[in-house]
Structure 1
């Protein structure tokens, strides 16, 4: 007997939200309406279903792959496993990927994929079968390839699923030299790259640090400049939320709140995310964590506690017109895609808040995915060719200076100067440079036009301009 996995009701609003942000920003550009329409529309939408045998029953799995823009190739975007996945959501996420890549100057078009399942309801072998079948469907329709469309992890997926995709693709494309470049976010043992797993969270933390370091902007919202001592609430302790919290703590911030699907914790003196994860591992829930001074069974209540910075790092539409008035943060840093609706953003900014938009804030993942893709195409790890040469050159320089001056460095000083950069250090350096430059580019666009009201609008203006130039350079538009 065939059994169709329940499809969620299509709430066609997320793509409309993205389009609304786009249209608002487009008025600050000088491009013809026809070109703006082309930039905004999703170029290719592949909707498909396939059978999956489970015991003595057959389920019908519903899946999507959307390529929003091929103004640059390949297209790039994650694959999401969730019961809430629908076509509108995948279209919106694909569009955000297009703008995100343009903002951080990564030469990809935007794409996104999704499979409508709850991965917790399937065994590892069943998930492998579904993932491999999904990959085969993409291969059949030419929706995957190192020069065509390159998926990555997203909500509900990770290194394991990416390794299954890579293996399936290479098996069906024997002899293709760059086959492992068909997907990023792979484990290191399968030609992944150091730093990819933590990249999105690290990028969010850097974005927040850059924002609060601007004294002029902090003065306007009543905060002292600098990240040290800033109180932060993080929604979601998955890969993005956890790493954001971890790096913010390294920068000197205090994590005062953690919100998860089963509740929320709060302590104005600080919480330890590692200890909370250990508690959840032992008990099955973050609730009843002893060092929390307050706990809430409704996660939404955790968002409304006192803090300087709120980091929604879970799913879209978490901050709406209904609850934005109860948010006490002065800064919202969007670790997730689309967590704030247009109406909520307008109200928050009107009351003097700053929103660091998702299309920039969580771009660390695609930035390091780009580095992984380059590594796969070049077939050599970053630092492998020059690390030893750099160390020997630095050592010769140190020896020469010591000989001339007659003074010797300590072993620690010598080590700091001589050491050559390895792959992780190069990746983190490239990520940090990308996030810093991109933030100040967005801020400069906003400050150049008094009518541009938010960082999101400025980010859209910058990305629209870059994409329009790409179309013109391709000769597609005069």
Structure 2
């Protein structure tokens, strides 16, 4: 079934396993769209459609006429398979081969939930693609230099982790810190719970801890890890595997283990869902014991649940604001708005995130509307400016 509001929707069936894969192009700007590819058991066309719409918002949200970066439209991909499935990479290869014309011409993609950048890069190379953002490189006068900038940035290792795997979580941490500051919560006395310990969750935990926040619990696919005295985030990062699962035999004495969904009930100032979509539903709201929810994942909170949280006085920093920096950083590097270094990247992320969260927060305070409503309004204004400047399809 095609959604009349999407420009393009592809449903693919793997001829070997019967697994489904999806591509949705929500909007095009200058003929281009941007958005990652996820691997998740149960991934659906409706999910990918919502993610593509979120990418349209993310691209517009960070628009700044002073930047070289010219925002793109929104697109997304997903495959209904567990990333731990032994056949996952083979299915990914067949999926990308099937949708290769769209990747070459319109859809600029990269890692997302369940998929690491080095994996998709290897598959793309096997298919003859130098990168998964060739459609953008084709529009640049300095494409060789842009390729070099991106390669240099990904080669920058910060505390044992590639800069490309840190920038998104760094942005989430900055969003959380500014939101906490606006609520009168000082970082040095704050606590946080992070659900998901992949690139977004792991980096968010690292940089919250670095700012002085006590990370009291993290949850991965194997369960909850909790220590109310504060977890050693760097030790947890060193003990995780490529799917963000922490080796339990590396944990120190005194750490409490719990069920994988027990993270909702841990008291904290900052609750950061940073893994799967749809993890906070209406039935979960009364379990939440946080002062602020910061959406590190895409679509982690169902609309009815968000409304109930807000009614309880718990603000929700929406996903397309809180986790926008992975996408923005790629293009800032490619277009040359930041140097391919951690210092330059973090300075830009910190500055832009503070501006965005402050602007949205002040609008919410003045109007009595939610952070999501005010962020959507900012996105709409930027979209109008983009439409006037470039034209937008979709």
TM-score after normalising by structure 2: 0.83
2:332 aligned residue (371, 374, 382): 371
2:356 aligned residue (428, 432, 438): 438
Distance 1:212 1:75 in 2: 33
Residue 208 of structure 1: how far off its partner (Å): 1.0
Change (3 A) 1:165 1:462: farther
My pick for the range that moved more, 249-258 or 157-166, is 157-166
1:339 aligned residue (295, 300, 303): 300
Where does residue 466 of structure 1 map in the other structure? 382
Q: Secondary structure at the match of 2:216?
A: strand
Distance 2:204 2:135 in 1: 37
Change (3 A) 1:320 1:72: farther
Change (3 A) 1:228 1:335: same
Distance 1:136 1:374 in 2: 27
Q: Which consecutive unaligned segments of at least 5 residues does structure 2 have? A: 64-69, 157-162
Residue 101 of structure 1: how far off its partner (Å): 1.6
TM-score after normalising by structure 1: 0.69
Where does residue 67 of structure 2 map in the other structure? none
2:288 aligned residue (327, 331, 334): 327
Q: 8 Å contact 2:338–2:348 — kept in the other structure?
A: no
Residue 71 of structure 1: how far off its partner (Å): 4.1
Q: 8 Å contact 2:60–2:386 — kept in the other structure?
A: no
Where does residue 137 of structure 2 map in the other structure? 178
Residue 332 of structure 1: how far off its partner (Å): 0.6
Equivalent residue runs for 1:64-75 within 5 Å: 64-71=22-29, 73-75=31-33
Where does residue 257 of structure 1 map in the other structure? 217
**Structure 1 residue 455 and structure 2 residue 371: aligned?**
yes
Distance 2:378 2:131 in 1: 39
Distance 2:327 2:237 in 1: 26
1:312 aligned residue (230, 254, 273): 273
Where does residue 257 of structure 2 map in the other structure? 295
Residue 441 of structure 1: how far off its partner (Å): 2.3
Q: 8 Å contact 1:48–1:64 — kept in the other structure?
A: yes
1:213 aligned residue (177, 181, 201): 181
Q: How many residues align?
A: 371
Q: 8 Å contact 2:295–2:317 — kept in the other structure?
A: yes
2:197 aligned residue (237, 254, 276): 237
Residue 48 of structure 1: how far off its partner (Å): 1.7
Distance 1:466 1:373 in 2: 21
Q: 8 Å contact 1:48–1:62 — kept in the other structure?
A: yes
Q: Secondary structure at the match of 2:207?
A: helix
Distance 2:330 2:390 in 1: 25
Q: 8 Å contact 2:33–2:106 — kept in the other structure?
A: yes
Distance 2:96 2:251 in 1: 41
**Structure 1 residue 159 and structure 2 residue 117: aligned?**
yes
Where does residue 44 of structure 2 map in the other structure? 86
Q: 8 Å contact 2:37–2:78 — kept in the other structure?
A: yes
Distance 1:82 1:172 in 2: 23
Residue 165 of structure 1: how far off its partner (Å): 4.7
1:226 aligned residue (186, 189, 202): 186
Distance 1:342 1:110 in 2: 21
Where does residue 119 of structure 1 map in the other structure? 83
Residue 198 of structure 1: how far off its partner (Å): 0.4
Where does residue 143 of structure 1 map in the other structure? 102
Higher relative contact order (CA 8 A, sep 6+): 2
Change (3 A) 1:185 1:80: farther
Q: Secondary structure at the match of 1:225?
A: coil
Residue 160 of structure 1: how far off its partner (Å): 1.7
Residue 373 of structure 1: how far off its partner (Å): 3.2
> Which protein shows a greater Rg?
1
Q: Secondary structure at the match of 2:172?
A: helix
**Structure 1 residue 271 and structure 2 residue 242: aligned?**
no
My pick for the range that moved more, 230-239 or 432-441, is 432-441
Q: 8 Å contact 1:143–1:149 — kept in the other structure?
A: yes
Distance 2:112 2:386 in 1: 27
Q: Secondary structure at the match of 1:119?
A: coil
Distance 1:363 1:231 in 2: 23
Distance 1:307 1:154 in 2: 27
2:62 aligned residue (86, 104, 116): 104
Distance 1:149 1:311 in 2: 29
